[in-house]
Chain A
Amino acid sequence: MTQTRHRVRVSAVARLGPSIREIHLEPLEGDHLPAFSPGSHVVMELPLGEHVLRNAYSLTSSPFERSRYAIAVRRQPDSRGGSRWIHDELVPGRQLRIEAPNNYFPIRAPADGAPLLLIAGGIGITPFMSLLRARRPDSGPMSLHYAFRDRVDTAYLAELKRLLGSDLHTYESTAGERLDPASLLAAQHLGTQVAVCGPAAMIEAVRAKAAALGWPEQRVLYERFSAPAGGTPFRVRLQRSGRSIAVSSEETLLEALERAQVPVRSLCRAGVCGECRTDLLGGEAEHQDLFLSDQEKTAQCAVMPCVSRACAGGELLLDL
């Protein structure tokens, strides 16, 4: 926990669809919140009963707006209670703690005037909102391809139409509309930067197609909108302290370690930043992170506790 914390108050809760809420947060002290760049997220502490859940949310407000932050949250039926709590319990006036923003998805064109192609799936639209809301007439060419299940329960459609006009392309799957990454990427010109945020399958499809079409890796930026949280319960043993801790199906390994007061540094809590990297001394991990190299994953020499778990029925031995 290397981040400064800030106390904020919920100033508004807006309904963006039957199962999506936008939450506005204003500072409790002073009148400015820390500056951030498009694509940033904040980790918010959610007081759920006796334990505190720490979830990361993309900032959807414009970076030019410093007096408040906005985040958008979809109710996830199988979530660990974070989104349910936000939807059912969070009301204006409520005070919360957040960590200063961090950015692992810095969305920007690679050069002045180079086109930016944005691809969003469902609630994966959120990291793009801060960029689009700060868009200026001279911001350079950009287009958004937005795929979702059905238009009624989709965030920001009307606002995006206003912001982007004909640069917005939508794909409603219940209406039989499909976003085809192959033809979309094939039509792009040299110098284009693509940024994609959505379900893992969508990101994989875009990355695979881009590679097949000869795109350089650094022109494909991606962010998985939800880290896999929870799974099969397992045990973890700590080499240095000799402790053994149970990780329930409801929590991540990082959360279990935090609950047991074992200090592990973390930032993104989504397997991206590398901050929580811990040496693995025994056992086989199911990695799920985007940080370790393929060699490291196969060697089973380290884990990212924010997203990794033990392989079915296994136990992990950590250098802690």
Chain B
Amino acid sequence: MSRIFYSKPSYSPVSPQPHSRHHLIIADASGAARAAKLQAACAGPNTVLLIAPADARLPEAELREPRELADRLSALIAQLPAGTSCYLFGRESFIWPAAIRLQDLGTARSQIHVERCGPMVRDVLCIHCKTRMHDVTDTLVCCDGCDLLLWNYDHFSRRHGAYMGFQVNAEQADDTPVAEALSS
């Protein structure tokens, strides 16, 4: 299949931003290690939000359930100073929707730094029946909702934190490529 459209994010390691008056660090379980490292490197005041069970590397983190994140962010935005830098660590399905939420609340894109952590997995959204598959590891996936074989396409929706999955053998049912492990 030829690739006609890429919207796959690329990443480089984030570091503490100078001049920041506060550092807001947000991580899921796979981002906890990086979050702890960044916190250690931050000079000024900081807040750590961990959307995961307690982690010994982040003893002062505030623990939250995933469903609480959006509300917690709006409350935080109203308290933190304007010169805050935000850092997001974790799976793509976690960091991007959180980044979009921060932007919806008025945080500038340049204040938000994301870094993908954890295993090479993707959430895939079936464009045919809208079912979401979590932690997909291969270039092909069978849709849990409509049973179609989906191509795990490099088209990423930041708002959904998921890649789009298209039926792979729509024209010819016997023409099916071999599934490969995701490499990036």
Contacts A189-B79, A214-B19, A217-B110 given; indicate if A114 touches B105 (C-beta within 8 A): yes
Q: Is A190 an interface residue (CB 8 A)?
A: yes
Which chain A positions have C-beta within 8 A of B167?
none
Q: Is B108 an interface residue (CB 8 A)?
A: yes
The interface bits of chain B over 10-24 (1 if a CB of A lies within 8 angstroms of the residue's CB, else 0) are: 000000010111000
Q: Is the beta-carbon distance between B104 and A189 smaller than 8 angstroms?
A: no
Which chain A positions have C-beta within 8 A of B79?
189
Closest residue of A by beta carbon distance from B103: A111
Known A-B contacts: A214-B82, A215-B82, A217-B110. Give 12 more (CB < 8 A): A111-B103, A113-B105, A114-B106, A115-B106, A188-B82, A189-B81, A191-B82, A191-B106, A213-B81, A214-B83, A219-B82, A219-B108
Q: Is the beta-carbon distance between A216 and B110 smaller than 8 angstroms?
A: yes
- Identify the interface centre among B17, B80, B104: most chain A CB within 10 Å of its CB: B104
Q: Is B137 an interface residue (CB 8 A)?
A: no
Q: Is the beta-carbon distance between B84 and A190 smaller than 8 angstroms?
A: yes
Report A's interface with B, CB cutoff 8 A: 109-115, 185-186, 188-193, 210-219
Task: Scan residues 78-105 of chain B and give those whose CB is less than 8 A from a CB of chain A.
Answer: 78-85, 103-105
B80, B83, B103: which contacts A215 (Cβ < 8 A)? B83
Q: Is B77 an interface residue (CB 8 A)?
A: yes
Q: Is B46 an interface residue (CB 8 A)?
A: no
Q: How far is the CA of A213 from the CA of B85 in the complex (A)?
A: 11
Closest residue of A by beta carbon distance from B111: A216
Q: Is the beta-carbon distance between A213 and B21 smaller than 8 angstroms?
A: yes
Closest residue of B by beta carbon distance from A115: B106
A-B contact pairs, 5 of them (CB 8 A): A190-B78, A210-B83, A214-B21, A214-B81, A219-B82
Which chain B positions have C-beta within 8 A of A211?
19
Q: Is B107 an interface residue (CB 8 A)?
A: yes
The interface bits of chain B over 57-95 (1 if a CB of A lies within 8 angstroms of the residue's CB, else 0) are: 000000000000000000011111111110000000000
Q: Is the beta-carbon distance between A214 and B84 smaller than 8 angstroms?
A: yes
Q: Is the beta-carbon distance between A189 and B19 smaller than 8 angstroms?
A: no
Which chain A positions have C-beta within 8 A of B19?
211-214
Q: How far is the CA of A109 from the CA of B106 in the complex (A)?
A: 8
Which chain A positions have C-beta within 8 A of B105?
111, 113-114, 190-191
Contacts A211-B19, A214-B21, A216-B110 given; indicate if A188 touches B81 (C-beta within 8 A): yes
**Taking the nearest CB of chain B, how far is it from the CB of A265, in angstroms?**
32
Q: Which 9 A-B pairs have the closest CB atoms?
A: A214-B83, A191-B106, A114-B106, A216-B108, A111-B106, A213-B83, A214-B19, A188-B82, A214-B20
B104, B106, B110: which contacts A190 (Cβ < 8 A)? B106
Which chain A positions have C-beta within 8 A of B78?
189-191
Q: Is the beta-carbon distance between B82 and A189 smaller than 8 angstroms?
A: yes
- Identify the interface centre among B17, B83, B85: most chain A CB within 10 Å of its CB: B83
Closest residue of B by beta carbon distance from A192: B82
